[in-house]
Amino acid sequence: MKTNFRIVLIAFLSGLGGAYLYQQVVQPTPVTEIIREVPTYQRANNFSNYNDESNAALPVDFRRAAEKSVHSVVYIKNLQRSRRSLSFLDYFYGREVPSNEVAIGSGSGVIYSEDGYIITNNHVIKGADEIEVQHEKRTYRATLVGTDPDMDIAVLKIEANNLPAINIAKSSTVKVGDWVLAVGNPFNLTSTVTAGIVSALGGEANALRENFPIEQYIQTDAAINPGNSGGALVDINGNLIGINTSIISRTGSYAGYGFAVPSDIVVKIVEDLKKYKVVQKAFTGAEVLDIDENLAKKAGIKNLNGVLVESIRRQGAADNAGLEPGDVIKRIDGKNISSKSSYDEVIGSRSPGDKITVQYERNGRLFETELVLENVYGNTEILGEEALDKDDIYFSNYLGAELRKLTPGEKQRMGLKIGVVVSKIDKERGFMRRLDLEEGDVILAINRRGAQDPEAVAKYIQNYYGRIYFEIIDKSGTQRTLTYRFQ
């Protein structure tokens, strides 16, 4: 019995000893690895290929830019009185006067000057009976100085002094990838600030252009919601580079695409509206096209840089400067022209009468010429409040003539409600020179159809066959009828 017990004890102790020996000698000791994470910006700075641009990886401090710009952003209220007329039910229930309800729209604005000029979007104040501007707990009644619906910009004036006007930078220096802040004052909240980068400039976002009417813009991924419309887009120094104007979204809320009108264009609009009450828009007298691969192949152009001159208005600015259809404009005043939007931005920041230097390519050779910009009527005069827009004037190459709408003043003086003016006729070519119409004649109707739209009138004449009747008022004020048969 004792012998068996000794055998079991010895076996047990031997097993323990063997297990201990295996653990200490044979089996490797497990190691717990502790990894210390290096902050992202520190790791980036350790990369040898960062060289002098290593600071770009450091976190950007937006506090200075925000503090510098938020005090220049205001809240804007659009007050519209109800225009609802009385109905049968109003009389039935004893309501004998129209409702005094007021609809309120709102948005943001930017203080342009310390004496009370405010920039906002045209759509923010459109249709307003009264406009209020609220700034740092004070409310001001605003007057409308003027608008540029094409660029969605409006200028207001409040009676105040020593306001914190925003500093303005040159938008022409903005590059894709620059950090920006979108500053707004939606719904009279404390100014809100969102950060992002410049995603595209003008025509670089070609896929979006068909949904967005303004070709001259700065695109950003900084969140811009409806209440921020009219607010400021600023650089990392807090300087204005654009006025926030729009988003592209199915829901009407931020979806990654925000747009701002460049500050160079905004300044031009504001100064014109302050001085003339109308924007003095400049034109070259040439229609240009973006150059893509197909157009380059058709036109025999070797590269895609620049814009192609599609047509030239006879005796216009481009014609007088020696430009011809088929030329490719490469630079204007030393600035590279990469797209139609960059071309429009340069011209949009100028005024009629300004002289620009145009570098263009013709038959593979570079040339340079000086061009004097013209107004919508084809001269260099500064226009008054009755100035027409570009869409109110139409030039037909086939007719060799320019047609335009009557101005409000002309309608009043002549006692007319409709009419299209023959403003220019090319005496050397074009179909219109064969008719008895002269520059300054007003076409009232064609075949008893009232003439209202210049483009529609031109295309009707161009495509018509058979007997045609023109009812006109000539330059002497005499109303008469011209009859022709077009073959």
| Residue 233: strand, helix, or coil | strand
Catalytic residue among 199, 229, 246, 423: 229
Dihedral Cα 412, 415, 419, 424, nearest 10 deg: -70
Span 262-280, pLDDT tens digits: 999 999 999 999 998 888 9
Q: CA triplet 387, 343, 330: central angle to 5 degrees?
A: 140
CA dihedral 429, 432, 433, 435 (to 10 degrees): 150
Catalytic residue among 106, 135, 152, 342: 152
Q: What is the pTM of this model?
A: 0.70
- Residue with the bigger pLDDT between 65 and 37: it is 65
- The shares of helix, strand and coil residues in the chain, as percent rounded to the nearest 5, are 30, 30, 40
Which of 69, 72, 123, 263 is catalytic? The answer is 123
Instruction: Identify the band that residue 14 occupies on the pLDDT scale cut at 50, 70 and 90.
Output: low
At 384-431, the pLDDT tens digits run 766 777 778 888 888 888 899 988 778 888 888 889 999 888 877 888
- Asked if pLDDT for residue 24 goes beyond 60, the answer is no
- 229 is known as an active-site residue: yes
Our answer to whether residue 123 is catalytic in this structure is yes
